[in-house]
Amino acid sequence: MLETLDERLGLDDEQLLGLYRRMLTIRTFEERVKYESSAGTVLGPTHLYIGEEAIAVGVCAALRPDDYITSTHRGHGHAIAKGCQPRRMMAELFGRETGVCHGRGGSMHIADFSVGMLGANAIVAGGIPLATGVGLAIQLKQSDQVIAGFFGESASNRGPFHEGLNMSAVWHLPVLFVCENNQFGQYTYASQVMLVENVSERAAGYGIRGLTIDGNDVMAVYQAAREALEGIRRGDGPVLLECKTYRMEGHNVGDELYYRKPGEMEAWKQKDPIVRFRACLQTWGALSAAQEADITAEVQAEIEEAVAFAAASAYASIDTIYDDVFSSDYQVTP
């Protein structure tokens, strides 16, 4: 547990509070989305990141603004951590024209190319070959950028995981494969559908480095990511970073959690990443009560504004449904 790590990995108070704030923003955003989804204002299937915030925040803190990420159906946390505006995300979830994808994508297809967030993918493991391709492009451009491709442990059972990691390995592509092992693949325990306990064991199959860390410890995630990315930027090739966590909510809003073992969630609540980090910051004296109250209030206000903004925004006109199937070079015939 990170309480014993008293070097703050070179981060000053502001940076540490930034980690905290971002995790809290994600948590507050997701809790509000849960409410709005039940109210019907957030449309469609919604997959909450509650309990996993440390992974997105820790990894993205190690990335540069010109680095990229690919994400999953459970992508709100990745998006906020990479720098997407909550108001434009909320508007997207509300299906409004002001959303980051103009209401075309929704929760499962959040994307903001302006901050290097190259899209949430509703196909499990769908983003892995894309991350491979992004890494290939970076290599061909001879740049030292990197891409972090997020996916769940159950994605590692799909073909594209195998193909994407293998190909990235062979070509030494600058990809950080971040496996968020939250114990569940939809309504099934991951342990029921794979025999290896740690997904990182699979890295050996591709000849690359794999490691498993505590995904609920933002500093541990940050440290592991930072270290891996140094090598990746140097051209050492991809790394498989498995972050163990727990999906505190159901797979989707409305999931009745009929399959969950009793008592398990309560046990994991003790390891809540935000609670732990708050305690850590308080131990380091980096977070006063006043600061905590301020940050909490600011985050709340930001989310409130995001909802208000979304609710006040109009839907896109139906005249636009044929736009952006192709570039302007080609027209779709109705």
Partner 1 sequence: MTTAEMTAPAQTAVRTITFRDAIREALLEEMQRDPSVFIIGECIELRSAWRTTKDLSLMFPGRVRDTPISEAAIVGAAVGAAMLGMHPVAEVMIGDFVTTCMDELVNQAGKMRYMFGGQTDLPMVVRIPTGMVKNGGAQHSQTLESWFMHAPGLLVAVPSTPYDAKGMLKTALRGRDPVLFFEYKMLYGIKGDVPEGDYTVPLGQARIARAGTDATIITWGSMTHKALAAAETLAAEGRSVEVVDLRTLVPLDTAAILRSVEKTHRVLVVDEGYRPASAGSEIAALIAEKAFYALDAPIKRLASPPVPKPFSTPLELATVPQTDDIVRTVRELF
Record the tokens describing residue 308, joined without a space: 């208000």
What sign for the dihedral angle of Cα 274, 280, 282, 287?
A: negative
Specify burial of residue 12 (Cβ count, 10 A radius: 0-12, 13-18, 19+).
exposed
Task: Provide the mask over 127-156, with x wherever binding to partner 1 is found by CB under 8 A and - wherever it is not.
Answer: -xxxxxxxxxxx-xx---------------
Of 107 and 183, the one with the shorter C-beta distance to partner 1 is 107
Based on the shown chain and the rule CB under 8 A, indicate whether residue 123 belongs to the binding site for partner 1.
yes
Smallest separation, CB 115 to partner 1 (Å): 11
Q: Which of 8, 109, 172, 278 binds partner 1 (CB under 8 A)?
A: 109
Based on the shown chain and the rule CB under 8 A, indicate whether residue 163 belongs to the binding site for partner 1.
yes
In angstroms, the CA 274 to CA 268 distance is 12
Q: Which residues of 195-226 are buried (b: 16+ CB within 10 A; e: fewer)?
A: eeebbbebbeebebbbebbbbbbbbbbbbbbb
Q: Which of 105, 174, 237, 273 binds partner 1 (CB under 8 A)?
A: 105
Q: Pick the stretch among 6-14, 99-107, 227-235, 271-279 that binds partner 1 (CB under 8 A).
A: 99-107
Distance, CA of 122 to chain centre:
13
Residues 69-98 that bind partner 1 (CB under 8 A): 70
Based on the shown chain and the rule CB under 8 A, indicate whether residue 100 belongs to the binding site for partner 1.
yes
Distance, CA of 131 to chain centre:
14
In angstroms, the CA 79 to CA 86 distance is 9
Based on the shown chain and the rule CB under 8 A, indicate whether residue 270 belongs to the binding site for partner 1.
no
Of 17 and 110, the one with the shorter C-beta distance to partner 1 is 110
Of 157 and 198, the one with the shorter C-beta distance to partner 1 is 157
Helices (H) and strands (E) in the chain, counts: 10, 8
Residue 55's closest CA among 149, 193, 136? 149
Q: Which of 101, 178, 274, 287 binds partner 1 (CB under 8 A)?
A: 101
Of 32 and 96, the one with the shorter C-beta distance to partner 1 is 96
Q: Pick the stretch among 74-82, 115-123, 187-195, 229-237 that binds partner 1 (CB under 8 A).
A: 115-123
Taken as a whole, the chain contains a residue count of 334
Q: Which of 51, 58, 103, 250 binds partner 1 (CB under 8 A)?
A: 103
Distance, CA of 94 to chain centre:
20
**CB of 125 within 8 A of CB of 161?**
yes
Based on the shown chain and the rule CB under 8 A, indicate whether residue 99 belongs to the binding site for partner 1.
yes
Based on the shown chain and the rule CB under 8 A, indicate whether residue 326 belongs to the binding site for partner 1.
yes
Phi, psi of 80 (to 5 degrees): -65, -40
- # binding residues, partner 1 (CB under 8 A): 51
Q: Which of 15, 41, 157, 166 binds partner 1 (CB under 8 A)?
A: 166
Give the list of residues 6+ apart from residue 155 with CB closer than 8 angstroms, or none. 72, 124, 125, 128, 161, 179
Smallest separation, CB 164 to partner 1 (Å): 5
Based on the shown chain and the rule CB under 8 A, indicate whether residue 112 belongs to the binding site for partner 1.
yes
Based on the shown chain and the rule CB under 8 A, indicate whether residue 188 belongs to the binding site for partner 1.
no
Based on the shown chain and the rule CB under 8 A, indicate whether residue 35 belongs to the binding site for partner 1.
no
Query: For 44, left (φ over 0), alpha (ψ -120 to 50), or beta?
Result: left
Binding residues (CB under 8 A) for partner 1: these are 68, 70, 99-105, 109, 111-114, 118-119, 121-123, 126, 128-138, 140-141, 159-160, 163-164, 166-167, 170-171, 323-327, 329-333
